[in-house]
Structure 1
Amino acid sequence: MKKTALSLTMIAALALGSASAQTTIKIASLSPLSGGQSDLGTQIKNGAQLAVNQYKAQFQKLGFNIQLVGYDDQADPATGTAAARKIAADRQILAVVGTLNSGVAIPSSAALVASHVALVSPANTANQVTDRGLSNMNRIVARDDAQGPAGANFIMGTLKAKKVYVLNDKTAYGEGLAKEVEKALKAKSVQVVANEGTEEKSDFSSIVAKIKLQRPDAIYFGGIYNQVGVFIKQLREAGINAPVVGGDGLDSSELATIAGAGANNIYFTTVAAPIEALPAAKTFAASYQKTFGKPAQGFGAFGYDAAKVVLQGILNAIKTNGGKAPTRTQVESAIRKGTFVGLLSGTVNFNSVGDRKAGTLYVMNVTGGKYKLATSIPVKPAKQ
């Protein structure tokens, strides 16, 4: 018995020694994990964690221990930039999955570019995210100049609106979407009665009053679910039932919860497909539910896909580097130049500025608090 116990102790010690001998490689997630947008940000982090769990064995075979480190940017540019500097200081972090908000991505990626820390965004849509031409900034989702016109075309073609009231949340994301929607509507002679920015979060009575006077056929709001949900609730309580259309910032189950009984006649374009629209997502959805105790949503799937791009990129860089731990520059190059297959959203590769060469937008409808797919639209970036 003593001999057996001693043998087991030695085996355990050897196993621990082997594990400690492995080189640790980290990737980071950067998204809001607290505050009003934490639902979407947590989805991104959770999706990335599932991808890391899936890839652990592959890295271990090569002598590496892969880890995810989650950073909370609170949907705030200053907080995100401070987190980016912490990421740059941790030399074990080779790449980042994030961010959720374009207004956070722009300064954060600028803070990381000198350190060659690559970002793969599952959510950023503002044109200037990639128009700056940074070597480290990539995204697997469509740009505003694809998403905005898609929303406008839906307003004109499906909703048959002739008069539209446009709102935005005064962020890079919301303003960018609203600008593209307004431009596309006016190009087809649709009357845009306003393009108003607001940072209001709780009392929309003055805006609702203006909308009531204008009597638009549709309302477009470039913003995030926590703000837009409150607006819709108050809009419906005022007896205004015009369709409300938005972008992917509305893509959260919390939208219907916040809007309450007013969660009707809502449409939004989203770069993150509903889980049921992704044939390969059944296993992912089951794993997400088992691991986190809640259903998978679109940004969880796209956080997973963005992380898979990062992880495959690192593996490609390890191979190029003769099996040794790669540099950040090698990972940055491997991500930008790679072709990544086996993703829930299809094959991903990037153009020279980090935009996905081909993707899909989805239009979702919310009626009676229930979400369903209205249509899907293939898109390519305006600049290839």
Structure 2
Amino acid sequence: MSGARLGRVLVLAAATSLVLAACAGGGGGGTGGGDVTTVKIGFMGDLTGENSAIVIPPYNGAKMAIDEYNATNPKVKIQLEKYDSQGKPEQATSLIAKAITSDKIVALIGPAFSGESKAIGGTLDESKIPSISPSATNPGLAKNGWKYWHRVVANDDDQGPRVAEFLLTAKAPKKAFVLSDDQEYSVGIAEAVTKTFKDKGVEVETDKFAKDASDYSSTVTKVKSANPDVIFFGGYYAQGGRLLKQLRDNDVKTTFASGDGSLDAQLVTGAGAAAAENAVLACPCNIPSADVTGTLKTFFDNYKKSAGADPAIYSTEGYDAATAYIKAIQAGKTTSEDINNFLSTVNFEGASKPIKFKSNGEPENASIFVYQVKGGVLKLLGPSATAKLEG
């Protein structure tokens, strides 16, 4: 079923449910005489699939924010509903139908990835359910005219050029090889990096392989033959780790860089510590470490206590996405449309960055940070404009 048709079905189903509830004398989403006492907010993303390490941290961040809010015993509590899409667009499509018609969520945190965001964005918009993604970065998502869609991270039109510019400053390449698999996110960031390199006069070769491929020998042969000065991979760590291992196994020692999809320790374990050493990774995220101070130190300590782990990629963004909804509910907004209207005015200092949305749902703040694998560990080098490679 197409997204548009499914959206119309969901709108009709939601309207029917409201009519039935009114006939039965039910309240609007809560209990007791029409007063709303609980609202449901969904979280959708890959929670058990091969790239779940990117999504579990923002889920934990969102859960922490909501648990903190509920602990204040507010008039309206929030119930967080999990939807494990495993990052698959077709799975997200069926899950959102359940979320809207059966679970009656008023808002969604996610989807986490760009492909699933593209698949259900139209449905969410037609059903008038606001969404805030903590991690979907494909630029095209902001160009669909969706009025209920938002994200708290910079897109790949920001991330791609800035990581390319960082590599230009750090390595002064004359020739680059840009790779990706065939996922929505992967293609988008690879295209952004390619364009920036070409605009700066760098000779660029490209190649793309299937997401589910395990043997990249054809791609590796092309890269080795081209002998580039830098390699950029657009994609997630599950594929990136395998690719990096096969490149190094075939004596390709060129600087390897990737974006936020590969910013996880499993890139190192997938490639092997020796192969991954000095890999460069960019992200529109600033991951708090144990030595931070101030409000980030408070976040670090609370997150570790709540999740049983240190903050990781998009932990703070998941927290901030949930906080935007919490602020709407604290302002008395409990319907989807009222919450969405509130998001157009929201403006607060988040854990990750200042949170404010443009009219197209994009964040006002578009900072990009650079990390490098050193001694098998992801090390923050700083903002892309000032970061310096080590080794």
User: What's the TM-score, normalizing by structure 2?
Assistant: 0.85
Q: CA deviation at 1:183?
A: 0.8
Q: CA deviation at 1:92?
A: 4.4
1:227 lines up with 2:239 in the alignment: yes
Would you say the 8 A contact 1:105–1:124 is kept in 2?
Answer: yes
Q: Residue type matched to 1:163 in 2?
A: K
Structure 1 spans left out of the alignment, 5+ residues: 1-18, 319-325, 379-384
Deviations 1:247-271 (A, max 9, x none): 1101112111111131112111101
Measure, in 2, the Cα distance between the counterparts of 1:200 and 1:91.
33
Tell me, what secondary structure is at the counterpart of 2:55? helix
Q: CA deviation at 1:283?
A: 2.1
Deviations 1:191-232 (A, max 9, x none): 002243443542112211221111111111100001101111
Q: CA deviation at 1:332?
A: 1.1
1:163 lines up with 2:175 in the alignment: yes
Would you say the 8 A contact 2:353–2:365 is kept in 1?
Answer: no
Tell me, what secondary structure is at the counterpart of 1:202? coil
Deviations 1:268-291 (A, max 9, x none): 110121213785222222222223
Aligned identity (percent) is 32
Question: Partner of 2:380 in structure 1?
Answer: 373
Measure, in 1, the Cα distance between the counterparts of 2:233 and 2:179.
5
Measure, in 2, the Cα distance between the counterparts of 1:337 and 1:347.
13
Tell me, what secondary structure is at the counterpart of 2:185? helix
Tell me, what secondary structure is at the counterpart of 1:245? strand
Q: Residue type matched to 1:199 in 2?
A: K
Q: CA deviation at 1:168?
A: 1.0
Measure, in 2, the Cα distance between the counterparts of 1:90 and 1:278.
44
Q: CA deviation at 1:91?
A: 6.0
Question: Partner of 2:359 in structure 1?
Answer: 352
* Of 289-298 and 251-260, the range deviating more from structure 2: 289-298
Tell me, what secondary structure is at the counterpart of 1:93? coil
Q: Residue type matched to 1:345 in 2?
A: S
1:154 lines up with 2:166 in the alignment: yes
Measure, in 1, the Cα distance between the counterparts of 2:225 and 2:353.
46
Measure, in 1, the Cα distance between the counterparts of 2:74 and 2:177.
57
Q: CA deviation at 1:23?
A: 1.7
CA RMSD after TM alignment: 1.9
Question: Partner of 2:53 in structure 1?
Answer: 39
Question: Partner of 2:339 in structure 1?
Answer: 331
Moved over 4 A (4+): 19-22
How many positions carry a matched residue from both structures? 350
User: What's the TM-score, normalizing by structure 1?
Assistant: 0.86
Measure, in 2, the Cα distance between the counterparts of 1:222 and 1:241.
18
Residues 99 and 76 (structure 1), Cα distance of their counterparts in 2 relative to 1, 3 Å cut: same
Would you say the 8 A contact 2:180–2:233 is kept in 1?
Answer: yes
Residues 184 and 258 (structure 1), Cα distance of their counterparts in 2 relative to 1, 3 Å cut: same
Question: Partner of 1:297 in structure 2?
Answer: 312
Deviations 1:314-369 (A, max 9, x none): 32343xxxxxxx2211111111332133x112321111100011231101111331
1:316 lines up with 2:331 in the alignment: yes
